């Protein structure tokens, strides 16, 4: 049967980018459909009735939601190349734990970089630096989080790097100063064609954040 | 090598109970260690430095944290009996999605049943009923969430049933009235020895909730 794969996504979403990177790692061809989150498509509302959020991967008519679950699904279905999760159960648990940690912490605190000011911004910057340092220490001296190969946790985190420019510019700080090894890791990831080709340009993400600030009437200065 | 398995837990935790049910499903012997959350053990702080939360499964000296990740780990390591996750990638994704939905929604709204009153309580009761109805519709006419066999999603949800009595008593409502099929499903789960033997008695959970209300100085009437 010919595979039919559709991705409902938004160009600037770090969650949507995870699905793109995983699909590209596996060499899966798919139809990309950009969603307008202020006017969601009927297909999105029907495919993810519980959360009504992108990304949604629709594989032969069946929807899969939540980005980390999508990445695991892609890894399990297209298991002929580029394994993403480690094969060892303990390493799998560790990768899942840190990806979950990223999801529980990084999005909310990252969002504050371009939506808050004053004390709230300063507190968020401190927390953001602590999270990244924690992740940098998990990376250690390895090339990638799982070792020599780009894998699941790299997928989970590298898509955030497209927002680093926005965080730095709006927050007035440099991630590379605090976490130089993490920035080297980002560069190593971007040297992989299927990664760099799947990520949205940082400048476009920044323009998107500024546009959202205007739309939501957020004043940060 | 002899397996050494330790579970750091709290008797009333629906998250800790998930690990207990999964270990019991696999017939794994383990040492149960009750934690005092106001005076956490050094082992807990060292084993889960990021969240400092129970449950933690320590397998031959290596800690695994976060209850759903622990359940998947147990399923992968002790894969000789009682498979918990389905083998089909799409069904696995669905089970993971709904377990994630439970974690994102049910704990917080459940907690409001015994910590809030007035309008806040009424709003929480409405949301709680909607979540349970959603889950009941996912169950449909199946014996268990995955079909004929007790599995991953059953583990994720059945431990909440030990809190149903507390929710009902404090919230002043009956879950069975709204969701009779879900209550039938709970009974089916409790007919399984390794489930009923792993769950804390509802009356003890209720006493624990009342004790917490007192400790935190929460007045609900």
What residues does B65 pair with on adjacent strands? Answer: B56
B178 in Cβ contact with B129 (< 8 Å)? yes
Do strands B62-65 and B56-59 pair parallel, antiparallel, or not at all (unpaired)? Answer: antiparallel
CB contact, 8 Å: A216 with chain B? Answer: no
Contact B99, A68 (CB under 8 A): no
Q: What does CATH list as the number for B89-215?
A: 1.20.1050.10
B residues 45..64 contacting A (CB < 8 A): 50-51, 59, 62, 64
Q: What's the gap in Å between the CA of A98 and the closest CA on chain B?
A: 10
Distance CA A89, CA B74 (A): 9
Q: What is the pLDDT along chain B (221 residues), one digit of tens a residue?
A: 578 999 999 999 999 999 999 999 999 999 999 999 999 999 999 999 999 999 999 999 999 999 999 999 999 999 999 999 999 999 999 999 999 999 999 999 999 999 999 999 999 999 999 999 999 999 999 999 999 999 999 999 999 999 999 999 999 999 999 999 999 999 999 999 999 999 999 999 999 999 999 988 887 76
On whether any CB of chain A is under 8 Å from the CB of B3, the answer is: no
The domain limits of chain B are: 5-77, 89-215
Q: Does domain B5-77 have CATH number 3.40.30.10?
A: yes
Please name the residues in contact with A31: beta carbons below 8 A apart, sequence gap of 6 or more: A4, A5, A6, A7
Of B69, B92, B101, which has the smallest distance from its Cβ to A96's Cβ?
Answer: B69
Residues 94-153 of A with CB under 8 A from B: 96-97, 100-101, 134
Q: Which residue in B has a C-alpha nearest to residue A69's C-alpha?
A: B93
Question: Whole-model pTM?
Answer: 0.96
């Amino acid at each position: 049967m010919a595979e039919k794969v559709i991705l409902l996504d938004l160009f600037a979403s770090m969650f949507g980018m995870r699905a793109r990177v995983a699909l590209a790692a596996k060499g899966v061809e798919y139809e990309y459909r950009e969603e307008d989150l202020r006017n969601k498509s009927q297909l999105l509302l029907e495919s993810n009735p519980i959360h009504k959020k992108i990304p949604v991967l629709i594989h032969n008519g069946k929807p899969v939601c939540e980005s980390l679950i999508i990445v695991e699904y892609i890894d399990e279905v297209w298991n002929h190349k580029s394994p993403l999760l480690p094969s060892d159960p303990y390493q799998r648990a560790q990768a899942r734990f840190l990806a979950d940690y990223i999801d529980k912490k990084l999005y909310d605190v990252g969002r504050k970089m371009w939506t808050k000011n004053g004390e709230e911004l300063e507190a968020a910057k401190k927390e953001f630096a602590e999270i990244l340092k924690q992740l940098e220490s998990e990376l250690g001296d390895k090339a990638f989080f799982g070792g020599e190969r780009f894998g699941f946790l790299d997928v989970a985190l590298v898509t955030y790097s497209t927002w680093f420019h926005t965080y730095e510019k709006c927050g007035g700080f440099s991630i590379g100063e605090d976490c130089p090894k993490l920035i080297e890791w980002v560069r190593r990831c971007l040297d992989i064609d299927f990664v760099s080709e799947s990520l949205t340009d940082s400048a476009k993400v920044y323009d998107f954040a500024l546009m959202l600030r205007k739309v939501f009437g957020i004043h940060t200065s």
